[in-house]
A and B are shown apart, each in its own frame.
Chain A
Amino acid sequence: MHLDHSHHGPAAVGADARRADGTRRALRIGLGGPVGSGKTATVAALCRALRDELSLAVVTNDIYTREDAEFLLREAVLPPERITAVETGACPHTAIRDDISANLEAVEDLEDAVGPLDLVLVESGGDNLTATFSKGLVDAQIFVIDVAGGDDIPRKGGPGVTTADLLIVNKTDLAPYVGSDLARMAADAKAQRAELPVVFQSLRGADGVRDVAAWVRARLGAWTA
């Protein structure tokens, strides 16, 4: 992964695994998925679960400037200097995929200001099923859908559902009320994703974000190995 050219001045390329001073940069994980599926709630829960063991920061990409960042600030999941909102010009998917410069800048500024960091979570403001993160921005991506958005989403697929490193099917507590068939969603997801992992979660339940936090720890283990 590491390019062996020498590092004079700031790294030129976003995917570069090392920072200008030669130290390894933080693992960057993107969270995408439809509006309201629970991305910000998952980020908040991950921060609460991991903040005592890891040095964390969050970058949000909102359609309107700062709503997700302000939610995270209100909930006090991290100190304010560890949360940055990127302005996306009404187009979050451009900022996470086609032109990632503002996000890379935000990540680097966080590492400079509060680093060293172990993990940066990058949330994309809800877009549509086609939004995915550039590999130049994140090392792994999570796609979050929920049971209330219709239990046919895993069957319909789309790049997020089929290729994300982790698929979260959120709000399983609501399944009985919205008539979603979890077994069918699991079978459809399996058909679309083969061996890629899927987590069914309810942030209202006792286990909360536990399985996703375990997945993040495993990714971090692989990153720092």
Chain B
Amino acid sequence: MGRGALLVLADGRFPAGGHAHSGGAEEAVRAGRITGAADLEAFCRGRLHTAGLVAAALAAAAAAGADPAELDAAADARTPSPALRLAARKLGRQLMRAARATWPSPELDAVARAFPKGAHQPVVLGLTARAAGLGPSDAAYCAVYESVSGPATAVVRLLSLDPFEATAVLARLAPELDLVVDRAVAAGTAVPPALPAASAPLLELGAEIHAAWPVRLFAS
């Protein structure tokens, strides 16, 4: 399988729970750090080179066949915020459900059994790509694209930002997505994987602040 399966997995409407998450954008909007397309682009760029890179390397490693339990522990160690760890596991569990229904595989069944409350989403994403007959680079592309498309979609809802402007932001970031994928694949497919540990402290702090709000539109 090839590009066709990749489009199915990368589709924003793939039913794996992502629509309820803003990738930190809701908190950043409330804090005044995102007010329009220019800020959104800066926010997405920061996310891409930190959380996006780490997620893509994890996904590439999982797609290449690295041990999911070790990758999951590595993801935990790279996610200081308890709220973000929880969100990543919830999304991993939801993706696992969708993946097992779309590309049934004994490997997915085994990981679902080992992690009944969910493994980190990028790890499950890599395993899903594997089950779909895709490779490490495909998995990394899905991860980096999600890392920027999630906040962009959320900001359209949060600020009533012009959807054309939001999509143009993603298009401007596309060449950088390619570069980050190259780095992620090199790191994730090294033996043993040489996983990056880039972090965005403001995203981690923001996630904790957001999780404490009594009223919010997005789950994270």
B1 at the binding interface (Cβ < 8 Å): no
Number of B residues with CB within 8 Å of any CB on chain A: 32
A63 at the binding interface (Cβ < 8 Å): yes
> Do A101 and B17 touch (CB < 8 A)?
yes
Identify the stretch in A40-48, A87-95, A150-158, A161-169 within 8 Å (CB) of chain B at 4 or more residues.
A87-95
Give the interface SS of chain B, mostly helix, strand, loop or mixed: helix
> Do B101 and A94 touch (CB < 8 A)?
no
Q: Per-position contact with B for A93-119: 1 when CB-CB < 8 Å, else 0?
A: 011001111101100000000000000
Supposing A8-B109, A12-B101, A90-B217 touch, asked if A99 and B157 sit within 8 A by C-beta, the answer is no
> Do B216 and A87 touch (CB < 8 A)?
yes
* Cross-interface CB contact of A105 among B90, B104, B216, cutoff 8 Å: B90
* Cross-interface CB contact of A13 among B13, B101, B109, cutoff 8 Å: B101
* Cross-interface CB contact of B97 among A86, A95, A98, A104, cutoff 8 Å: A104
> Do B97 and A9 touch (CB < 8 A)?
no
> Do A87 and B109 touch (CB < 8 A)?
no
Chain B positions 92-107 with a Cβ under 8 Å from a chain A Cβ = 93-95, 97-98, 100-101, 104
Q: Within 8 Å CB of A95, what residues of B? A: 19-20
> Do B116 and A10 touch (CB < 8 A)?
yes
Supposing A89-B22, A89-B217 touch, asked if A9 and B98 sit within 8 A by C-beta, the answer is no
Q: Within 8 Å CB of A104, what residues of B? A: 97
> Do B19 and A99 touch (CB < 8 A)?
yes
Q: Per-position contact with B for A1-43: 1 when CB-CB < 8 Å, else 0?
A: 0000000111011100000000000000000000000000000
B86 at the binding interface (Cβ < 8 Å): no
B197 at the binding interface (Cβ < 8 Å): no
B215 at the binding interface (Cβ < 8 Å): yes
B13, B20, B100 pick with most chain A CB within 10 angstroms: B20
User: B98 to nearest A CB, angstroms?
Assistant: 6
Supposing A99-B15, A102-B94, A105-B90 touch, asked if A88 and B20 sit within 8 A by C-beta, the answer is yes
Q: Within 8 Å CB of A8, what residues of B? A: 109, 113
A215 at the binding interface (Cβ < 8 Å): no
Q: Within 8 Å CB of A90, what residues of B? A: 157-158, 217-218
> Do A102 and B101 touch (CB < 8 A)?
no
| Distance in angstroms between the alpha carbons of A78 and B39 in the assembled complex | 45
> Do A105 and B218 touch (CB < 8 A)?
no
Supposing A94-B19, A95-B20, A98-B15 touch, asked if A87 and B219 sit within 8 A by C-beta, the answer is yes
A10, A12, A66 pick with most chain B CB within 10 angstroms: A12
Supposing A12-B101, A105-B90 touch, asked if A100 and B15 sit within 8 A by C-beta, the answer is yes
> Do B216 and A65 touch (CB < 8 A)?
yes
> Do B101 and A9 touch (CB < 8 A)?
no
Which residue of the partner chain A has the closest CB to B217? A90
Supposing A10-B112, A65-B214, A89-B219 touch, asked if A102 and B20 sit within 8 A by C-beta, the answer is yes
| Distance in angstroms between the alpha carbons of A99 and B216 in the assembled complex | 19
| Distance in angstroms between the alpha carbons of A90 and B113 in the assembled complex | 32
| Distance in angstroms between the alpha carbons of A98 and B107 in the assembled complex | 26
> Do A99 and B16 touch (CB < 8 A)?
yes
Supposing A8-B113, A65-B215 touch, asked if A89 and B100 sit within 8 A by C-beta, the answer is no
27 contacts between A and B (CB under 8 A): A8-B109, A8-B113, A9-B109, A10-B113, A12-B97, A12-B100, A12-B101, A14-B97, A64-B217, A66-B215, A87-B219, A89-B22, A89-B218, A90-B157, A91-B20, A94-B20, A95-B19, A98-B13, A99-B18, A100-B15, A101-B17, A102-B20, A102-B90, A102-B94, A104-B97, A105-B93, A105-B97
- The residues of B with any CB-CB pair to A shorter than 8 Å are 13, 15-22, 90, 93-95, 97-98, 100-101, 104, 109-110, 112-113, 116, 154, 157-158, 214-219
- The residues of A with any CB-CB pair to B shorter than 8 Å are 8-10, 12-14, 63-66, 86-91, 94-95, 98-102, 104-105
